[in-house]
Amino acid sequence: MTTPAPTIGAPSFHLALDAARAAAGAQHYPVGALYVVATPIGNLADITLRALHVLQLADAIACEDTRHTQQLLRSYRLDGKPLIALHEHNEAEAAQGVVARLQSGQRIAYVSDAGTPAVSDPGARLVAACAAAGLRVLPLPGASSVTTALSASGLAGDGHFVFAGFLPNKTGERQSAVDALAQEPRAVVLLEAPHRIAALADALARLGDRPVTVGRELTKQFEQITTLPCADLPAWLAADAQRQRGEFALVLHPAPAFDDADDSERVLGLLLAELPLKPAVKLAAEITGSPRNALYDAALRSKAQNAGSSD
């Protein structure tokens, strides 16, 4: 197949392929092994030299979407590779076909549509099937929306974070998941699609002043990164229709730390003055991170003391 010349202004990877062979060609690439290859999350230039070399070397490429991957390979002038569809709906069955190819001595690369496979994308079942068959799995690191968003969030680099990925579709389940994250003392990375970002914003708004960093279209031409209180997120999205387009990676900043029981009980007391006991305890636990049972006991003691003082 003849590869069309790149259009003016489009990236050209002709020299990159030569550089990939020069930089990575001397390394050992065993046959009968699965190569899990990270691909760019938006910017084609974020491919690694080793990934380009392995994609040239592979006997076949398993992928989440053959049409998307064909376009990606064409951009790198790697047309003509056999493609194997392996996605969330056929992963278990297709994995066995990949295992059979590996057992025959082929090198197979696996790529998802963007970023590092087997994290929030398909690939984990394939890796598990290969491991169960005693086959080697070689990861090729590269672009990841998770670490990209974290690096731009401005958080302290203590290395502590939680990857929550995509929250549930249903409104109640999504809100319950957000309520559970309200007590999380570590940063939380969330992913979201454009058609669901408004619903996620509404759910996060209940966290009030807790900061969230929003990464939209990361690494792409119209990349946008901003940090704002969760309560302001719905209005920020609604202010510009463009802000609801593209893929999202969000970093929910850690919940504020409360060092002692006095602070927790002070917050509880303020809430009890305005709310019934159970909602006050629930919110106090979310705000302070203190155990709900301990706050419930404290609320009962406070109620009893107030009742005694009024006699």
Please tell me the number of Cα atoms within 13 Å of 100 on its side-chain side: 6
pLDDT one digit per residue (tens) for the chain, 311 residues: 333 444 444 578 889 999 999 999 999 999 999 999 999 999 999 999 999 999 999 999 999 999 999 999 999 999 889 999 999 999 999 999 999 999 999 999 999 999 999 998 899 999 999 999 999 999 999 999 999 999 999 886 677 899 999 999 999 999 999 988 987 889 999 999 999 999 999 999 999 999 999 999 999 999 999 999 999 999 999 999 999 999 999 999 988 765 556 777 888 888 888 889 888 888 888 777 777 888 888 888 887 777 666 55
Q: Which amino acid is at 257?
A: A
Rounded CA-CA distance 39/170 in Å is 30
- Pairing assessment for the beta strands 136-140 and 161-165 based on DSSP bridges: unpaired
Answer yes or no: same fold for 14-143 and 146-252: no
Give the pLDDT score at 7.
41
Give the tokens for residue 14: 């002709």
Phi, psi of 277 (to 5 degrees): -60, -55
Judge contact between 18 and 82, C-beta under 8 A: no
Judge contact between 122 and 91, C-beta under 8 A: yes
Closest CA to 212 of 238, 244, 194, 236: 236
* Domain segments of the chain as ranges: 14-143, 146-252, 261-309
Give the pLDDT score at 296.
86
Closest CA to 145 of 123, 122, 126, 121: 121
Give the pLDDT score at 3.
39
Closest CA to 215 of 113, 137, 144, 271: 144
Query: What fold does the segment set 14-143 form as a domain?
Result: Cobalt-precorrin-4 Transmethylase; domain 1 (3.40.1010)
CATH 1.20.140.10 at 146-252, yes or no: no
